[in-house]
């Protein structure tokens, strides 16, 4: 249901964009009606030629509808509207009519007039009919350019640096993949192959396509073409955007982040040493970051990565906090956590050296420090703001430990 909703929203967005171009076409049509009809070499007006052509080619949707772009095609072409604009107009108009047809088909299904297979068949026809519309509007060359951009849209084309020949070859490979996929799905729908065979054949088809693409481009360029952005790297880039890093610093920082990612993926969380190895990887990354950024910038990065700071900045307006308030509160929380962690570590070290540790006394001291910190924050914020933050568990990072 969620995927269908997202698809529906995308189509409606396309429709809304296209409405502007529909208005443009109406304006062109209205102004052209005031001028003598354009003629071409056979002495007929563009409109007459279009009507004759449409009688034999316009089989998908009747051109008699006054709001159909086909009835404006001659005028739009005469006005020199670019293919890209024309494609947006056609796509918007098509999606609008397609949604109307689908709603009608859905009503028929709910009334028992058609079966589920009719819905599946109709859905499979969406891309075919859209392509037919585009061919009619743009011509074969214009259609291929539009279809190539659409087919290769999900690739990182700038990273792969494709030549025109490679781009055409990749387009043809991908179009053949789509065709064979559709053929297999049609066979499954007709009952000619079962679900297990369909899954196996689709997997083999994908493997064959990927190998062909690698043979065309090489493994490294194919990986660059298809690699999804690393969320951790993307998040790091957002966090350091205000630190005014040089290109060399940014490159070194991303390399350290990627090395840390690789180290973490190689760790086995079933092994007893997992936590120790994880902490070692984190410490190595932090040391590399601090060396690259310097102490001040590294401290700023740590602050921005801290969930406590993120929470404070996100709700600062709701909690009536200015930037100085946020920094003061965050500093108090960070200082508390650091002091508590250091106090506990010293107690553990003493115990490992064979000295007796009064853990009950340690916990009482921590609780006393918690109360002092809370009182300080309460005094700084006032009762109302302190209560609001306390209600949202802002002060519960380590106070209860």
Q: Within 13 Å of residue 323, how many CA atoms lie on the same side as its CB? A: 0
Distance of CA 204 to the CA centre of its chain: 27
Query: Do both 372 and 389 map to the same domain?
Result: yes
Write down the pLDDT at residue 388.
92
Query: Do both 220 and 261 map to the same domain?
Result: no
Q: Confirm whether 156 is domain-assigned.
A: no
Q: Return per-residue pLDDT of the chain as tens, 401 residues.
A: 444 444 544 444 444 444 454 445 444 444 444 444 444 445 544 344 444 444 443 333 333 344 567 777 778 778 888 888 888 888 888 888 899 988 998 998 899 988 888 888 888 888 889 999 999 888 899 999 999 999 998 888 877 788 899 999 999 999 999 999 989 998 998 889 999 999 999 999 999 999 999 999 998 888 888 887 778 788 888 888 888 888 899 999 888 988 888 888 887 777 778 888 888 888 898 999 999 999 988 888 888 888 889 899 999 999 999 999 999 999 998 889 888 989 888 888 888 888 888 888 888 988 889 889 999 999 999 999 999 998 898 886 544 44
39 pairs with which residues across the strands? 45
Q: Confirm whether 391 is domain-assigned.
A: yes
pLDDT digits (tens, 9 = 90+) for 261-304: 888 888 777 777 888 888 888 889 899 999 999 998 888 888 88
C-alpha dihedral over 180, 181, 182, 186, to 10 degrees?
Answer: 100
Residues 169, 175, 181, CA angle at the centre, nearest 5°? 135
Query: Do both 249 and 217 map to the same domain?
Result: no
Q: Confirm whether 43 is domain-assigned.
A: yes
Give helix then strand counts, H and E, for the chain: 18, 0
Tokens of 67: 């709001």
Write down the pLDDT at residue 318.
93
C-beta separation of 14 from 99 below 8 A: no
Query: Do both 280 and 359 map to the same domain?
Result: no
Write down the pLDDT at residue 261.
84
pTM comes to 0.54
Q: Confirm whether 176 is domain-assigned.
A: yes
Q: In the chain, how many domains are there?
A: 4
Query: Do both 65 and 87 map to the same domain?
Result: yes
Q: Which contacts of 172-178 are long-range, i.e. CB under 8 A and separated by 24 or more positions?
A: 173/209, 173/212, 173/213, 173/216, 174/209, 175/147, 175/151, 176/209, 177/205, 177/206, 177/209, 178/151
Enclosing domain of residue 341: 306-401
Q: Confirm whether 119 is domain-assigned.
A: yes
Write down the pLDDT at residue 204.
95
Query: Do both 265 and 204 map to the same domain?
Result: no
Query: Do both 112 and 127 map to the same domain?
Result: yes
CA distances 172 to 39, 144, 149, 151, 380, Å, are 38, 11, 12, 10, 67
Q: Confirm whether 199 is domain-assigned.
A: yes
b/e sequence 319-344, b meaning 16+ C-beta within 10 Å: bebeeebbebbbebbbebbeebeeee
Tokens of 95: 């999606």
For residues 78 and 82, what is the distance between their CA atoms, to the nearest angstrom?
11
* DSSP conformation letters of 169-210: HHHHHHHHHHHHHHHHHHHHHTTSS-HHHHHHHHHHHHHHHH
Query: Do both 255 and 390 map to the same domain?
Result: no
Alpha helices in 58-125 (DSSP H): 73-78, 83-110, 116-124
Domain boundary among 238, 265, 298: 298
For residues 385 and 387, what is the distance between their CA atoms, to the nearest angstrom?
5
Query: Do both 11 and 141 map to the same domain?
Result: yes
Query: Do both 187 and 207 map to the same domain?
Result: yes
Query: Do both 78 and 176 map to the same domain?
Result: no
Write down the pLDDT at residue 265.
83
Write down the pLDDT at residue 50.
40
Domain boundary among 151, 180, 195: 151
Give me the count of residues in the chain: 401
Query: Do both 279 and 333 map to the same domain?
Result: no
Domain boundary among 130, 151, 172: 151
């Amino acid at each position: 249901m969620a995927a269908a909703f997202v698809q529906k929203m995308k189509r409606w967005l396309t429709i809304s964009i296209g409405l502007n171009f529909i208005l443009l076409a109406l304006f062109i049509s209205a102004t052209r009606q005031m001028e003598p009809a354009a003629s071409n070499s056979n002495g007929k007006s563009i409109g007459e030629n279009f009507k004759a052509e449409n009688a034999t080619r316009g089989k998908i949707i009747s051109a008699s509808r006054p709001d159909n772009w086909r009835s404006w095609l001659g005028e739009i072409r005469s006005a020199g509207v670019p293919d890209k604009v024309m494609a947006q107009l056609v796509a918007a108009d098509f999606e609008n009519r397609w949604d109307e047809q689908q709603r009608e088909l859905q009503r028929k299904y709910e009334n028992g007039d058609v079966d589920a297979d009719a819905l599946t068949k109709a859905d499979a026809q969406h891309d075919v009919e859209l392509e037919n519309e585009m061919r009619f509007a743009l011509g074969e060359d214009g259609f291929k350019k539009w279809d190539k951009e659409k087919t290769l849209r999900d690739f990182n084309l700038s990273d792969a640096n494709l030549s025109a020949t490679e781009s055409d070859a990749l387009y043809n490979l991908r179009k053949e993949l789509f065709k064979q996929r559709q053929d297999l799905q049609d066979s499954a729908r007709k009952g000619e192959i079962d679900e297990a065979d369909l899954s196996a054949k689709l997997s083999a088809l994908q493997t064959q396509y990927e190998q062909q693409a690698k043979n065309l481009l090489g493994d490294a360029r194919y990986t660059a073409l298809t690699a999804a952005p690393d969320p951790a790297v993307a998040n790091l880039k957002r966090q350091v955007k205000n630190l005014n890093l040089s290109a060399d610093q940014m490159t070194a920082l991303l390399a350290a982040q990627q090395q840390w990612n690789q180290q973490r993926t190689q760790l086995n969380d079933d092994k007893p040493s997992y936590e120790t190895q994880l902490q070692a990887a984190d410490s190595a990354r932090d040391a590399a970051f601090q060396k690259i950024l310097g102490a001040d910038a590294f401290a700023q990065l740590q602050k921005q990565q801290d969930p406590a700071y993120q929470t404070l900045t996100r709700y600062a307006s709701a909690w009536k906090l200015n930037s100085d308030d946020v920094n003061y509160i965050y500093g108090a929380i960070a200082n508390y956590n650091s002091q508590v962690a250091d106090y506990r570590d010293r107690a553990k070290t003493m115990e490992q050296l064979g000295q007796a540790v009064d853990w009950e006394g340690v916990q009482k001291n921590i609780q006393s420090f918690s109360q002092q910190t809370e009182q300080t924050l309460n005094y700084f914020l006032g009762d109302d703001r302190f209560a609001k933050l306390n209600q949202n568990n802002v002060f519960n990072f380590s106070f209860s430990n």
